[in-house]
Amino acid sequence: MSTIAVRKSFLSTVWEYLTTVDHKKIAHLYLGAGGFFFLLGGLEALFIRIQLMKPQNNFVNEQLFNELMTMHGTTMIFLAAMPLLFAYMNAVVPLQIGARDVAFPFLNALGFWLFFWGGIFLNLSWFLGGAPDAGWTSYASLSLASEGHGIDFYTLGIQISGFGTLMSGINFLATIITMRAPGMSFMRMPLFTWTTFIASSLILMAFPPLTISVFYLIFDRLFNSAIFDVTLGGNTIIWEHFFWIFGHPEVYILILPAFGIFSEIIPTFSRKRLFGYSSMVFATILIGFLGFMVWAHHMFTTGLGNVANAIFAVATMAIAVPTGIKIFNWLLTMWGGSIKITVPMIWALGFIPSFVMGGVTGVMQGIAPLDYQLHDTYFIVAHFHYVIIGGVVFAIFAAAHFYWPKMFGKMLSEKLGYVTFAFFFVGFHMTFFVQHFLGLMGMPRRVATFLPGQGLDLYNFISSLGAILMTIGVIVLLVNIVITSMSKQQVANDPWGDGRTIEWALPSPPPYYNFKQLPLVRGQDTWWLEKMEGNKELPPAEPLQDIHMPKGSILPFFIALGLFIAGFGAMYNPLNQVGDGHPMGTVVLIFGLAMTFGTMLLRSLRDDLGYYIPKEELEDDDAKGGKVS
Residues 431-450 binding other proteins (CB under 8 A) are 434, 437, 440-442, 444-450
Q: For other proteins, which is the closer residue by CB, 31 or 443?
A: 443
Q: At what angle do helices 343-366 and 306-318 cross, to 10 degrees?
A: 160
Question: Which amino acid is it at 487?
Answer: S
Phi, psi of 304 (to 5 degrees): -80, -15
Q: What are phi and psi of 549, to 5 degrees?
A: -125, 150
Give the binding-site size for other proteins (rule: CB under 8 A): 91
Q: Which of residues 590-609 bind other proteins (CB under 8 A)?
A: none
Stretch that binds other proteins, among 203-211, 349-357, 508-516, 567-575 (CB under 8 A): 349-357
Q: Does 131 sit near other proteins (CB under 8 A)?
A: no
Which of 358, 481, 471 is closest to 41 using CA atoms?
Answer: 471
Return the number of the residue (458 or 587) whose C-beta is nearest other proteins: 458
- Least Å distance, CB 404 to other proteins, is 22
- What is the enclosing helix (H) or strand (E) of 448? none
163 or 244: CB nearest other proteins: 244
Listed ranges 74-82, 136-144, 200-208, 255-263: which one lies at the site for other proteins (CB under 8 A): 136-144
331 binds other proteins (CB under 8 A): yes
Q: Does 141 bind other proteins (CB under 8 A)?
A: yes
548, containing H or E segment: strand 547-549
Q: Measured in Å, how far apart are the chain's first and last C-alpha atoms?
A: 23
The H-assigned helical ranges of 376-413 are 378-387, 394-408
Strands 547-549 and 611-613: antiparallel
Q: If binding is defined by CB under 8 A, does position 77 make contact with other proteins? A: no
DSSP class per residue in 258-279: HHHHHHHHHHHHHTSPPTTHHH
Nearest CB to other proteins, comparing residues 321 and 544: 321
Local structure of residue 180 (DSSP, 8 states): P
- Nearest distance in Å: CB 577, other proteins: 15
Q: Does 347 bind other proteins (CB under 8 A)?
A: no
Report which of 401, 266, 278, 398 is spatially closest to residue 337, judged by C-alpha positions. Answer: 266
Q: Which is nearer to other proteins, 130 or 552 (CB)?
A: 130
Q: Does 318 bind other proteins (CB under 8 A)?
A: yes
Please tell me whether residue 79 binds other proteins under the rule CB under 8 A: no
Stretch 195-234 residues interacting with other proteins (CB under 8 A): 230
**Buried/exposed 310-332: b ≥16 CB within 10 Å, e otherwise:** eebbebbbebbebbebbbebbee
Mark 352-391 with x for binding to other proteins (rule: CB under 8 A) and - for no binding: xx--xx--xx-xx-xxxxxxxx-xxx--------------
Q: Distance between CA 75 and CA 83 in Å, rounded?
A: 11
Question: Quick check: 459 binds other proteins (CB under 8 A)?
Answer: yes
Site for other proteins in 477-536 (CB under 8 A): 532
CB of 126 to other proteins, least distance (A): 17
Contacts of 44 (CB under 8 A, 6+ apart): 68, 69, 71, 72, 75
Interface stretch with other proteins, choices 133-141, 388-396, 477-485, 569-577 (CB under 8 A): 133-141
Residue 328 beta carbon to other proteins: minimum distance, rounded to whole angstroms: 4
